[in-house]
Amino acid sequence: MEATEPQHGSTSIVGLDAGVTKLATLSDGTVYPPVSSFKVNQRKLARLQRKLSRKIQFSANWQKQKRKIQRLHSHIANIRKDYLHKVTSEISKNHAMIVIEDLKVSNMSKSAKGTTERPGRNVKAKSGLNRSILEQGWYEMRRQLEYKQLWRGGQVLAIPPAYTSQKCACCGHTAKENRPSQSQFECLECGYTANADINGARNILAAGHAVLACGGRVQSDRPSKQEPAEVIQTSV
Nearest to 194 by CA among 228, 211, 169: 169
Active-site pick, 135, 140, 146, 197:
197
Active-site pick, 2, 5, 17, 82:
17
Q: How confident is the model at residue 4 (pLDDT cuts 50, 70, 90)?
A: confident
Residue 30: Cβ within 10 Å count: 16
pTM reported for the whole predicted model = 0.78
Q: Residue ranges per domain, the chain?
A: 13-165+195-220
* DSSP string computed for 130-178: HHHHHHHTHHHHHHHHHHHHHHHT-EEEEE--TTTTTB-TTT--B-GGG
Active-site pick, 101, 135, 140, 146:
101
Query: How does pLDDT run across 60-88, given as a tens digit for each residue?
Result: 999 999 999 999 999 998 999 999 999 99
Task: Say whether pLDDT at 136 is over 50.
Answer: yes
Task: Say whether pLDDT at 31 is over 90.
Answer: yes
Task: Say whether pLDDT at 177 is over 50.
Answer: yes
SS3 content of the chain, % helix, strand, coil (to 5): 50, 15, 40
Bridge-based pairing state of the strands 24-26 and 31-32: antiparallel
Q: How confident is the model at residue 39 (pLDDT cuts 50, 70, 90)?
A: confident
Task: Say whether pLDDT at 164 is over 70.
Answer: yes
Active site residue 17: yes
Task: Say whether pLDDT at 108 is over 90.
Answer: no
